[in-house]
A and B are shown apart, each in its own frame.
Chain A
Amino acid sequence: EAGVTQSPRYAVLQEGQAVSFWCDPISGHDTLYWYQQPRDQGPQLLVYFRDEAVIDNSQLPSDRFSAVRPKGTNSTLKIQSAKQGDTATYLCASSFNWGGGDTQYFGPGTRLLVL
């Protein structure tokens, strides 16, 4: 079974530039999560979807970050006008069900460096 895939693996930006991250969850997983993991810290949830619906985006900096999952499969996380404080690894995860008790499988992540 293929795992969660993400692209790109690395991105280097100047402040003010935009970037998009793409995630393909495990087939059949209806719940998809985006996490931000600063260096030497634990992952912090940004947003999660059940199918195409946003369930919780309260931790997403809405003025510059956006996330979509239009067909309930792949998802895109976009940062408009990146800041140095956005430097982190962005992890996508998926689970079969939502509700908290289902195992989440993580993709390899996208390492973002904002100069």
Chain B
Amino acid sequence: GEQVEQLPSILRVQEGSSASINCTYENSASNYFPWYKQEPGENPKLIIDIRSNMERKQTQGLIVLLDKKAKRFSLHITDTQPGDSAMYFCAASYNVLYFGSGTKLTVEP
């Protein structure tokens, strides 16, 4: 199997600042690391992912970093907006997705 640890569980930032969420995994066979955003009452939606052949990926204000040696990956949201407020889940996969416990991000105006 796989164990994914996600921190912090709660994150409050001011609008316009950056937010960072960190995840670690245990199984070196994991090779796919997606990030999902989930708003209240909604389903998780993929926002960005990275595969093990990459160390960094960036799209639309999101940056994902992957350190395979340390078995660590992270999501960085630049220039946060109130609309970024949601639960964020990281996941690691070598056959199925193993999710972290989530981070509740609140962006305050």
* Nearest-Cβ distance from residue B43 to partner chain A, whole angstroms: 4
CB distance from B74 to the nearest CB of A (A): 16
Task: Say whether A43 contacts B89, CB under 8 Å.
Answer: yes
Q: Write 16 A-B pairs (CB below 8 A) sorted by A numbering.
A: A33-B96, A41-B102, A42-B6, A42-B99, A42-B101, A45-B96, A91-B44, A98-B95, A100-B31, A100-B97, A101-B32, A103-B49, A106-B43, A107-B43, A108-B42, A109-B43
The 0/1 profile, CB within 8 Å of B marked 1, for residues 40-62 of chain A is 11111100100000001000000
Closest residue to A43 on the B side, CB-wise?
B99
B44 touches A106 (CB 8 A): yes
> Chain B contact residues: over half helix, strand or loop, or mixed?
strand
Q: Would you call A43 and B96 a contact (CB within 8 A)?
A: no
- Which B residues have a C-beta under 8 Å from some C-beta of A? 4, 6, 31-32, 34, 36, 42-46, 49, 51, 89, 91, 93-102, 104
Q: How far is the CB of A23 from chain B (nearest CB, A)?
A: 12
Answer yes or no: A28 CB below 8 A from chain B CBs.
no
Contact of A108 among B6, B43, B100, B101 (CB under 8 A): B43
* B89 partner, pick from A42, A45, A101, A108, beta carbons under 8 A: A42
**A interface, size bucket:** 20 to 34
Q: Given the complex, which residues of A lie within 8 Å of B98, measured CB to CB?
A: 45
Query: Which residues of A are at the interface with B, using a C-beta cutoff of 8 A?
Result: 33, 40-45, 48, 56, 91, 98-101, 103-109
B42, B43, B44, B91 pick with most chain A CB within 10 angstroms: B43
Contacts of A108 in B (CB 8 A): 42-43
A99 to B89, CA, bound (A): 20
- Decide if A103 touches B43 in the complex (CB within 8 Å): no
- Contact A48 B46, beta carbon cutoff 8 Å: no
